[in-house]
Amino acid sequence: MSEVIPEDVIEFAREIFAAANSEATMTLARQPAAHEEHLDFQLFAALDRIGPRIVPISKSSIEVDTHWLGGRRFWDGRWEIADIGVVVVLRRAGRLVWRKVALLQSKRLYSREIPVVELERSDYEIGIGRLVDRTEAIPTRTQPRTFEFTPECVYGAMAAASHQVKIIEDYMRRHQMPVYYSLYNPPAMPYWGVVPRNAAFPLGQENIPLGCRVMTAQETHEALARLPIGRTPQFQELVVMASPASTDAYRNHGWRLESFIADELLRCRQGRLFDRDNDSDLHALLYERTAPIASLIQISIDLLPETP
């Protein structure tokens, strides 16, 4: 691979994905029962605010586009392989040089006290009426409730030896396409909060040393394999080997989202590279009606023409 991405482009990508990470993390901190899809939306909304940019040193352009399909989990009786496909497209003076793909399967940590009602097939079939057509009595919202995230909290929508683990492994083996887990966490561990919050309480951002983390599917599945079949993993159990030289206090829980994008994907340490105009695996991922992703983030980078 002869073309590399300039440093100022990588640092700009790190900055905007750090802001997106912050938005999703603080949404979880304020709404501990938020669905994974809602947290994905926060990433997309933050990235959509950026618009096309030209970075000052290399004069390269970078643009982030998002596309949401939704509902793929239950499409045609299949489970999706990933919630978000991340595609990097590198061009020089408009000419395609290469493309790179990484697939993110989103999972969120559950708090101890506030239950999360996962979306089911009926939610997709019946529609949004289920949200507003509730006439039964519900617990009062006028009394604040505390909630807490601790190392014993679980990623409730994943389990050891589940069907989804099997189909992700089968897909990676069949298509040589890397899959990663995007893990939504609170700002720090442990973390506690109150819902409903006082309306006068500011919504300002907090320091976020933990936040959204990314682990490879291989590392994640190895951690799950150490658990009894069917058990959901705790935060403290879903860990990876990490460099002791890193200053990241949570380095054993994966890359920060922005570090994964900037240092692993854009520097071509992770993801799958496509340097041909036409590739059957890429076509199957992006164009077939049984495509296994629910949404897409495309990072388009255009370099200046080569100097003679």
pLDDT along the chain (308 residues), means of 10: 87 97 94 91 96 96 88 50 92 94 95 70 57 67 85 95 92 92 97 77 74 97 96 96 85 97 96 78 64 83 89
Please give the pLDDT value at position 215: 97
Please give the pLDDT value at position 74: 44
What are the boundaries of each domain within the chain? 7-114+144-198+207-303
DSSP string, 164-207: HHHHHHHHHHHH---EEEEEE--SSSSEEEEESPPTTS------
Burial of 131 (0-12, 13-18, 19+ CB in 10 A): exposed
Please give the pLDDT value at position 81: 83
Please give the pLDDT value at position 123: 54
Torsion of CA 289, 292, 294, 300, to 10 degrees: -90
Task: From residue 291, give the alpha-carbon distance in Å to each of 71, 96, 285, 295, 298.
Answer: 12, 23, 5, 10, 16
pLDDT tens digits, 95-153: 999 999 999 999 999 998 776 666 555 555 556 565 566 667 766 667 788 899 999 99
Please give the pLDDT value at position 198: 65
